[in-house]
Amino acid sequence: MAMLSSLSLISFTSFALLLFLVHAQDQSGFISIDCGIPNDSSYNDETTGIKYVSDSAFVDSGTSKSIAAEFQSSGFDKHLLNVRSFPEGKRNCYDVRTPRGKGFKYLIRTRFMYGNYDDLGAAPEFDLYLGVNFWDSVKLDDATSIVNKEMITIPVSDTVQVCVVDKNSGTPFLSVLEIRLLLNTTYETSSDALMLVRRSDFGGNGNLSFRYKDDIYDRIWTPRTLADTNKLNTSLTIDQGFHNGYQPPSTVMSTAETPQNESHYMTLIFRPVDPNAKFYVYLHFAEVEELKTNLTREFHIWLDESLLVRSFKPRYLFTDTVSTPNPVGGIMVNFSLQQPGKTGDSVLPPIINALEIYQVNEFLQIPTDSQDVDAMMKIKAKYRVKKNWQGDPCVPVGYSWEGLDCTQTDNTTNSRIVSLNISFSELRGEIDPAFSNLTSIEKLDLSGNDLTGEIPDFLGNLPNLTELNVEGNKLTGIIPAKLLERSNNGSLSLRFGRNPDLCLSASCQNTKKKKKKKNGYIIPLVSLIVGIIIALFTVLALFRHFKKKQQRGGLGGRNGPLEIAKRYFKYSEVVNITNNFERVLGKGGFGKVYHGVINGEQVAVKVLSQESAQGYKEFRAEVDILMRVHHTNLTSLVGYCNEGNHVALIYEYMANENLGDFLAGKRSFILSWEERLKISLDAAQGLEYLHCNCKPPIVHRDVKPANILLNEKLQAKIADFGLSRSFSVEGNVQVSTVVAGTIGYLDPEYYSTRQIDEKSDVYSLGVVLLEVITGQPAIASFKTEKRHISDQVSLMLAKGDIKGIVDQRLKERYDTGSAWKMSEIALACTEPTSAQRPTMSQVVMELKQIVYGRVTNQENDNDSSILLTVDLNSEMVPQAR
């Protein structure tokens, strides 16, 4: 959706699919192969607890080797002590079934350490492929340099092939091969694959990298220190409930770095080796200091000249991830973390906790048709074919499997297998059903093997089959009628000689059966096949059922996390947070708002009551919009709960509740004139953001003092997006069937035409401004009749009675000039026809002039700050652990 403007950059993904967490934690989403250890052996790594298994089940070729004795006890990871070396063949491949098959996202990691295993003292250089596609070159500088290659991708088939290709520059080998199941919803890009460039942990004191069990996905985080920064840390756990889908480990997120000089801002520079390459960058933030109430940490995040996130506030003990929406590249990539404007001492300098950079890899080679591949894999496995059948059967052209002919690939279609010759290859057993899936096959030669059983009917259904040779086997039964028919009409060359028990017709079969007295064997065979088919269907049905369940949980059914979830809380957690709904903060049409505490921070928990007038749709709208928007003058959503009948929204806590209470005199003090001006500007800025910075624009539709919340510093934030709507850019006007909103604040034009646009919010804000100026409600009794505040103010203004307009409780403590100006703006906003009203941006400009006396441009106010540049390319030293 285009609506995900700059704010979609923040991924608050929160798939609380416990299933995945559990799996990742118990390693069932892991495949960990230590290449070269004895066949079928395994061990648990002492440091990580990861169970490594031998590679014998995943590879057909190569030899096991151990690194040289001198390096055996140098403290290297155990999985680096052995390697599988491939002295023969140009391409050698591992073939690994992924933990959950195709369509899921995996991190695939290979590690290499030469360790002089071959005693040649020459570290090799070779190429690495994922299936048919080039992954990267592996170049080892010396015996003990460790090379990691990592790729994140969604495989299109259930198995992945990791291949090493000889470049005549030493023998290819592999030390470790690891596969980790990731959440589909993280590292989302339109690219085929992401290759790790770096993954850094800032602010730590140690020099050890973190991986499993700190990281449930076993990503390896390398410690890094930036120049001229201070280190910050907390001993508390960050994001305990894993609300951020990326789930960087708490040990990584609990340390951060910040510029030493508080007036400096931070720039992270990355210079790609290849300026044509494209990269995705993920910045992970979490506040680790408990900030005093008069302090905030807030900064803009710039990517080169464009604003990535405005006024970003890292949350205390929660991880937020900011990523580049599109791939970046060039000679230099510049991320800048800058405080917004000259804000004095109350705004702390930026921080950064962790960062990841990935390079895009587009898969240009098109693999062989996946149905053909699956069939060949089954055939290879069933008959244990002793040929160098590795990697993709047809692609790249120079590497196609022995005995195979394929159609040529072009840019758009997959190669198909047209000819398969596995004659004289010691095949035993029946003709496998997998042959039926080689639907493009023209020539099939199975002669000279020990195949038994009947010739299956499906061979007669292969549409393009022109040659079939099954001579010299032990096949029985009768030849399928279809094959005979095609043979008779000349469209098929069929050879079936030297199968002693094979018949051309049923009568022959009967005599042969009698002669051999083997009456019984067909029945068990049939029941076996039926049994297998039933088992297959059961597995399939179970899998489907399982998938459905997941989809329901994951993709926004009425229960459970919504697709665009930021932070999902279980109902039991909500009970905990609110201390069993102990303190009521307020009450509305939707239900009650309770006080709550998360990790020591106060929150407001809005619980949707069963008989709520504000239904599920409004709840959805509110969550949808708050997910996307992020602005200091909009309330921010901390999380939500959507479990069975329990629906709750958790917001940041606003100490001073709402503007309406102040205006109605329900609070102990009255707002000063200056405070009123600032609150008006805040509200207008929040709405301007919705109108101008969101694509398509969002119209709030229910702007009123009760929906303008004030924090302890009386900063105003717009709340309650339940009625808000987004409007596509083309059709700026929307016709709505029901009138929604609040009487008194409702655009009169909307009331009659049912057409709504941003100007409707301008009208409502105008009414709010009038209330702020006068302290009177929107509709007040005037003598005997009820009169709208705009009529009243315009009457008095016409008489020049500014004293009569401004809230009497302020006495003389206000500036007449700005009171005039405010009243004029407010009345312009409440013009009955929308065309005569200003836009929200114009309102903001005018209000800024009143508040600051001049128009300021926050973003360009940074001249006095000194740049703190961090060069991400400077080398770091990975430490063995």
Ligand X SMILES: *[C@@H]1O[C@H](CO)[C@@H](O)[C@H](O)[C@H]1NC(C)=O
Q: Does 386 bind ligand X (CB under 6 A)?
A: no
CA–centroid distance for 856 within its chain: 37
CB of 377 to ligand X, least distance (A): 10
C-alpha to C-alpha distance for 546 and 100, rounded to whole angstroms: 12
Residue type, 147: V
* DSSP code per residue over 565-577: -S-B--HHHHHHH
First to last CA, the chain: 45
Residue pair 165/130 in contact (Cβ under 8 Å)? The answer is no
Nearer residue to ligand X within complex by CB, 414 or 707: 414
Long-range contacts of 828-831 (CB under 8 A, 24+ apart): 828/766, 829/762, 829/763, 829/765, 829/766, 829/767, 829/769, 830/763, 830/766, 830/767, 830/770, 830/790, 831/763
Query: 318 CB contacts (<8 Å, ≥6 apart)?
Result: 238, 239, 243, 244, 286, 287, 567, 599
Q: Does 163 bind ligand X (CB under 6 A)?
A: no
Q: What are phi and psi of 403, to 5 degrees?
A: 90, 0
Only segment of 169-177, 437-445, 579-587, 848-856 that touches ligand X (CB under 6 A): 437-445
CA distances from 217 to 402, 565, 656, 775, 832 (A): 38, 20, 42, 56, 58
Across the strands, what pairs with 83?
Answer: 65
825-836: burial string, b at 16+ Cβ within 10 Å, e else: bbbbbbbeebee
Long-range contacts of 550-557 (CB under 8 A, 24+ apart): 550/17, 550/19, 553/17, 554/15, 554/17
Kindly tell me the sign of the dihedral angle through the C-alpha atoms of 708, 711, 715, 719.
negative
Residue type, 35: C
Q: Does 236 bind ligand X (CB under 6 A)?
A: no
Q: Does 371 bind ligand X (CB under 6 A)?
A: yes
Which H or E run contains 335?
strand 333-338
CB of 416 to ligand X, least distance (A): 6
Residue nearest ligand X by beta-carbon distance: 103
CB of 337 to ligand X, least distance (A): 10
Residue pair 61/88 in contact (Cβ under 8 Å)? The answer is yes
Nearer residue to ligand X within complex by CB, 340 or 838: 340
SS3 of 63, please? strand
Q: Does 207 bind ligand X (CB under 6 A)?
A: yes
CB of 410 to ligand X, least distance (A): 4
Nearer residue to ligand X within complex by CB, 406 or 847: 406
For ligand X, the binding residue among 159, 189, 439, 841 (CB under 6 A) is: 439
C-alpha to C-alpha distance for 78 and 37, rounded to whole angstroms: 10
CB of 205 to ligand X, least distance (A): 4
Q: Does 250 bind ligand X (CB under 6 A)?
A: no
CB of 375 to ligand X, least distance (A): 6
Q: Does 866 bind ligand X (CB under 6 A)?
A: yes
Q: Does 411 bind ligand X (CB under 6 A)?
A: yes
Only segment of 87-95, 141-149, 313-321, 373-381 that touches ligand X (CB under 6 A): 373-381
Residue type, 509: Q
Residue pair 282/323 in contact (Cβ under 8 Å)? The answer is yes
Only segment of 270-278, 368-376, 805-813, 841-849 that touches ligand X (CB under 6 A): 368-376
Across the strands, what pairs with 329?
Answer: 278
Q: Does 292 bind ligand X (CB under 6 A)?
A: yes
Q: Which of residues 412-431 bind ligand X (CB under 6 A)?
A: 416
The vertex-513 CA angle with 507 and 515, nearest 5°, equals 105
Q: Does 387 bind ligand X (CB under 6 A)?
A: no
For ligand X, the binding residue among 73, 294, 489, 737 (CB under 6 A) is: 294
CB of 877 to ligand X, least distance (A): 6
Nearer residue to ligand X within complex by CB, 305 or 611: 305
Nearer residue to ligand X within complex by CB, 371 or 693: 371
CA distances from 690 to 4, 42, 227, 718, 825 (A): 12, 57, 38, 10, 20
Q: Does 860 bind ligand X (CB under 6 A)?
A: no
611 C-beta neighbours (distance < 10 Å), count: 6
CB of 456 to ligand X, least distance (A): 10
704 is in an annotated binding site: no
Across the strands, what pairs with 129?
Answer: 134, 163
Q: Does 715 bind ligand X (CB under 6 A)?
A: no
Q: Does 104 bind ligand X (CB under 6 A)?
A: yes
**Residue tagged active-site, from 372, 702, 747, 807:** 702
For ligand X, the binding residue among 413, 511, 527, 551 (CB under 6 A) is: 551
CB of 437 to ligand X, least distance (A): 4
Only segment of 261-269, 323-331, 738-746, 754-762 that touches ligand X (CB under 6 A): 261-269
Q: Six-digit token pair at 818?
A: 């700005």
Q: Does 367 bind ligand X (CB under 6 A)?
A: no
Q: Which of residues 462-481 bind ligand X (CB under 6 A)?
A: 463-464
C-alpha to C-alpha distance for 353 and 355, rounded to whole angstroms: 7
Nearer residue to ligand X within complex by CB, 164 or 767: 164
Which H or E run contains 680?
helix 673-688
Q: Does 155 bind ligand X (CB under 6 A)?
A: no
For ligand X, the binding residue among 15, 52, 389, 619 (CB under 6 A) is: 15
Strands (E) in 501-612, as ranges, are 501-503, 584-588, 591-598, 601-608
Q: Six-digit token pair at 795?
A: 């009457």
State yes or no: is 702 an active-site residue: yes
For ligand X, the binding residue among 98, 255, 635, 764 (CB under 6 A) is: 255
Nearer residue to ligand X within complex by CB, 39 or 610: 39
Number of residues that bind ligand X (CB under 6 A): 46
Nearer residue to ligand X within complex by CB, 127 or 228: 228
Q: Six-digit token pair at 436?
A: 């039926």
Q: Which of residues 28-87 bind ligand X (CB under 6 A)?
A: 39, 56
CB of 303 to ligand X, least distance (A): 9
Only segment of 2-10, 187-195, 435-443, 632-640 that touches ligand X (CB under 6 A): 435-443
Rounded (10°) CA dihedral 290, 292, 293, 298: -70
Q: How many Cα atoms sit within 13 Å of 3 on the Cβ side?
A: 18
Only segment of 165-173, 517-525, 672-680, 864-872 that touches ligand X (CB under 6 A): 864-872
Q: Does 302 bind ligand X (CB under 6 A)?
A: yes
Residue pair 573/241 in contact (Cβ under 8 Å)? The answer is yes
Only segment of 66-74, 374-382, 686-694, 797-805 that touches ligand X (CB under 6 A): 374-382
Q: Does 345 bind ligand X (CB under 6 A)?
A: yes
CB of 371 to ligand X, least distance (A): 4
CB of 447 to ligand X, least distance (A): 22
Residue pair 386/426 in contact (Cβ under 8 Å)? The answer is yes
Q: Does 410 bind ligand X (CB under 6 A)?
A: yes
For ligand X, the binding residue among 547, 549, 552, 713 (CB under 6 A) is: 547
For ligand X, the binding residue among 190, 205, 489, 668 (CB under 6 A) is: 205
Nearer residue to ligand X within complex by CB, 95 or 622: 95
Position of tokens 């991880």?
319
For ligand X, the binding residue among 3, 17, 181, 253 (CB under 6 A) is: 17
Residues making contact with ligand X (CB under 6 A): 15, 17, 39, 56, 103-104, 184, 204-205, 207, 233, 255, 261, 263, 267, 269, 292, 294, 302, 305, 334, 336, 345-346, 371, 374-375, 378, 410-411, 416, 433-434, 436-437, 439-440, 463-464, 547, 550-551, 554, 866-867, 869
Binding residue positions for ATP? 606
Q: Catalytic site residues? A: 702
